[in-house]
Amino acid sequence: SQTGIYPESSTKTYSYRASIIKGSEGNLQNIEGSYLGPVIRVKKGDKVRVRYENQIPAESIVHWHGLHVSHENDGHPEHVISEGETYYYEFEVMNRAGTYWFHPHPHKHTGEQVYKGLAGLFIVSDKDEEKLNLPQGEYDIPVVIQDRTFNDNRQLQYLGDGEMDRMQGFLGEQILINGKIDNTLNLGANGKYRLRLLNGSNSRAYKLAWDHGEAITVLGVDGGLLKAPKRMPYLMLGPAQRIDVWLDLSQQSENSRIKLVHLPIPLEMMGGGMMNGGMMGNSSSNHLPYDTQFDILEIKVGASAENNAQLPGELSSFNTLAATDAINKNNPRTFTFAMGGMMKWTINGRIYNGTEVAEEETVKLDTTEIWRINNGNQFSSDSDDDSGMMGRGMHGNGGMMGGQGGMGNMMQMPHPVHIHQLQFNILNRKTEEVDQKLWELTKDGFINEGWQDSVYLLPGMQMDLIMRFEDFKGLFLYHCHNLEHEDMGMMRNFKIV
């Protein structure tokens, strides 16, 4: 047996049986030697049945992140099943071609279950995409990025005892790619590749760049291809976000190496002294610091073998939603993600409470709306910070929750916001309230184009998202995708009536 590399939980996992009941062949492919679930490949229009059997000693339910499905197929926590029970999903794939994924969604335990390996990719193709002749097969490569910590027995270790670790979200000590500790990708040939990046980390965001200094060519985002390739000096990839990237290795010689690295960003908010001697106990965390550079992925180039894929000048044509289409264009629905009192992460002051839906969380089928989401509105007015928000986190010491600095610092955490069941367009992103040093170092890594379902909301950031509620009535979730925040209740329902 291979002790030491795989998590204890890998012997007891979900079993997934996915089949296409009507449509393409589909295909279920496992990444060898990985703790992750399978890569499920389907076509738009396929009717899919998934038999999900829970073999873990805990309640769980699977959510299809990014897919436009009904309430019963969305993996709402109210549908959790116990060990030994089975849940059947049946839905038609209505989404555009793109990189979607799946993971558990039981309330309070999503973080732990995803951490221990319960996640996989759901890749959709469609006719429009096929025409583009993008890299396929061995040239179409998933890259699931996760940070993990191993204990002395070389088993996956989730959070320590410190309540602080939970408040900021799990941060690991090393990077795993596709559920493996070896983050080298041996690419068999030097042709042109499509890398499907997924940030499957519990709470960590990445600032990604090629170490040889070339721009990153982006093909697509959460909900599929952009209109045209977009070249970016670096990418900000928050939890749950996907970005498809074009990689041309045809000019690289055999055995050369290219690295994807994380570049330093000032998000090391609660590290160092903050943790020690605080009321909430010490942190055992020795996590990879945000403010240093580290390797994400090393690509080793194989022998010359030309594939003839060419980067298209145009990728996809689609109409985005316009503000004038929204029924609330002058009065956007506003959701504030913030700390609400001691040790509580809230949305508009509320935490998750089963199937509860507030009045302001009820929307109408067949309408288009603007949702204004913002991160911590109290931070500009209440903050008496004079040392710079990041500086305060770095140099604070002791009494985390006792001191004003500590509380203020906590409010200024990023929140990766995700909405279920639909893909939205981004109308705008307001950043005046964002720490200017942080913004300077991240602003060229955000993408506002295309269809998305998850955004990385920096402290002080405000975004207007436009979305349409179609096809399915019922309860769906929106939440912070920092999975520890989500588990602590930073999650709510919206109801389509």
Instruction: Select from 41, 43, 44, 63 the one that contacts ligand C2O (CB under 6 A).
Output: 63
| Token pair in block for residue 209 | 């760049």
CB of 309 to Cu ion, least distance (A): 31
Q: Residues 451, 422: contact at Cβ < 8 Å?
A: no
Instruction: Select from 41, 65, 103, 287 the one that contacts Cu ion (CB under 5 A).
Output: 65
Q: Which does 105 bind (CB under 5 to 8 A by kind): ligand C2O, Cu ion, none?
A: ligand C2O
Q: Residues 367, 469: contact at Cβ < 8 Å?
A: yes
3-state secondary structure 374-415: EECCHHHHHCCCCCCHHHHHHHCCCCCCCCHHHHHHHHCCCE
For every residue of 426-487, DSSP letters joined together read EEEEE-TTS-HHHHHHHGGG---SS-BSEEEE-TT-EEEEEEEE-S--EEEEEEE-SHHHHH
Contact flag: residue 420 with ligand C2O (CB under 6 A): yes
Residue 114 DSSP SS3: helix
Contact flag: residue 389 with ligand C2O (CB under 6 A): no
Task: Using the minimum distance from each CB to Cu ion, give the nearer residue, 441 or 480.
Answer: 480
Contact flag: residue 269 with Cu ion (CB under 5 A): no
**Which segment (12-20, 250-258, 431-439, 475-483) binds ligand C2O by CB under 6 A?**
475-483
**What CA–CA distance (Å, rounded) separates 129 from 97?**
7
Task: Using the minimum distance from each CB to ligand C2O, give the nearer residue, 246 or 469.
Answer: 469
Instruction: Select from 426, 477, 480, 490 the one that contacts ligand C2O (CB under 6 A).
Output: 477
Q: Which does 287 bind (CB under 5 to 8 A by kind): Cu ion, ligand C2O, none?
A: none
One character per residue 401-420, x = contact with Cu ion (rule: CB under 5 A): --------------x----x
Contact flag: residue 107 with ligand C2O (CB under 6 A): no
Helices first, then strands: H and E counts in the chain: 8, 29
Instruction: Select from 482, 483, 489, 495 the one that contacts Cu ion (CB under 5 A).
Output: 482
Please calculate the CA angle 343-148-460 and round it to the nearest 5 degrees: 40
Contact flag: residue 480 with Cu ion (CB under 5 A): yes
CB of 100 to Cu ion, least distance (A): 9
Task: Using the minimum distance from each CB to ligand C2O, give the nearer residue, 46 or 222.
Answer: 222
Number of residues that bind Cu ion (CB under 5 A): 6
**What CA–CA distance (Å, rounded) separates 27 from 125?**
12
Residue 494 DSSP SS3: strand
Those residues with Cβ within 8 angstroms of residue 331's Cβ, 6 or more apart along the chain or in another chain: none
State the sign of the Cα–Cα–Cα–Cα dihedral 391, 394, 398, 404.
Answer: positive
Instruction: Select from 41, 65, 194, 372 the one that contacts ligand C2O (CB under 6 A).
Output: 65
CB of 266 to Cu ion, least distance (A): 18
Binders of ligand C2O among residues 236 to 295 (CB under 6 A) are 240
Contact flag: residue 485 with Cu ion (CB under 5 A): yes
CB of 474 to ligand C2O, least distance (A): 15
| Token pair in block for residue 326 | 């929204």
Q: Residues 460, 388: contact at Cβ < 8 Å?
A: no
Task: Using the minimum distance from each CB to ligand C2O, give the nearer residue, 192 or 485.
Answer: 485
Contact flag: residue 204 with ligand C2O (CB under 6 A): no
CB of 268 to ligand C2O, least distance (A): 25
- Single-letter residue type at 112: E
Binding site for ligand C2O (CB under 6 A): 63, 65, 103, 105, 240, 418, 420, 477, 479, 481
